[in-house]
Amino acid sequence: MNDDVRKYIYGAVTVFLVGVLVWVGIIFVNACGLSLACNRGNTLPETTPIPTLIPATLPVMTMESNAVATPDKCHVAGVDLIGAWVEAGASDTEAFQFEDADGRQCEATFADVQPLFTQANLWYAGSLSCISCHSVDLAVSPAQLDMSSYEGILAGSRRADDAPKGTDILGGGNWSSSLLYQFIAETKADVPGHDGALSSALMVYAGTLLPDVNATPTP
């Protein structure tokens, strides 16, 4: 009697296990066929075609992307902009013309040039503004040079005892031989404020585009 019960129990367990195996087998073959290299069970990559959250690791925005926002501005190297102003006679109000980096004819005034001397963090990351050192107070300004105003720039450097005129930093209109050019474009390892890469690499958006004389008029 006990043996019979045991047989029934074993029989039922066996039938159950075989049933489970067959069931799993049917599902497997149904999903994957007879292949073992089937990857249908892998988790799906977590992407959606529509970005929902913008990741915080987007590449740093470059100056170039401003081009879209300011299509009517000229794109020029900072040194070249100052140079064009110097070569045109360094006027405080009159406009001067220059060709920008994209070969377009442009016009600007001293107002476009001045921010290059007054803005910090411009020539390189973390740079001081020129006027934070070369301030109106000649007693403390290095090289007795006041970059904070048009008059100060024209008056030049090394103005001992507040003399009205010092050394011309604009090279008499010859940009490439001027002190200003040298102290902006060349790195002076031993001069504080000039030891970083104050460089010709700085590109700015400044001035206004002149109408293109060669352009075909739109009908």
Which positions touch ligand HEC (CB under 6 A)? 117, 123, 128, 130, 132-134, 142-143, 145, 147, 157-158, 167, 169, 179-180, 183-184, 191-194, 198
Q: Which is nearer to ligand HEC, 25 or 142 (CB)?
A: 142
Token output for 128:
């001081």
Nearest residue to 115 via CA among 107, 123, 125: 123
Pairing between β-strand 105-108 and β-strand 73-77 as defined by DSSP bridges: unpaired
- Beta-bridge partners for 108: 96
Query: Which residue lies nearest ligand HEC, judged by its C-beta?
Result: 193
Least distance to ligand HEC from the beta carbon of 73, Å?
A: 21
Integer Cα distance of 88 and 82 in angstroms: 10
Q: Which is nearer to ligand HEC, 102 or 195 (CB)?
A: 195
Contacts from 165-174 at CB under 8 Å and sequence distance 24+? 169/145, 170/86, 170/90, 171/86, 173/86, 173/87, 173/89, 173/90, 174/87
Least distance to ligand HEC from the beta carbon of 46, Å?
A: 48
Least distance to ligand HEC from the beta carbon of 100, Å?
A: 21
Integer Cα distance of 184 and 129 in angstroms: 12
Nearest residue to 130 via CA among 152, 109, 110: 152
Q: Which is nearer to ligand HEC, 76 or 145 (CB)?
A: 145
Q: Which is nearer to ligand HEC, 145 or 203 (CB)?
A: 145
Q: Which is nearer to ligand HEC, 109 or 119 (CB)?
A: 119
Least distance to ligand HEC from the beta carbon of 63, Å?
A: 17
Least distance to ligand HEC from the beta carbon of 89, Å?
A: 18
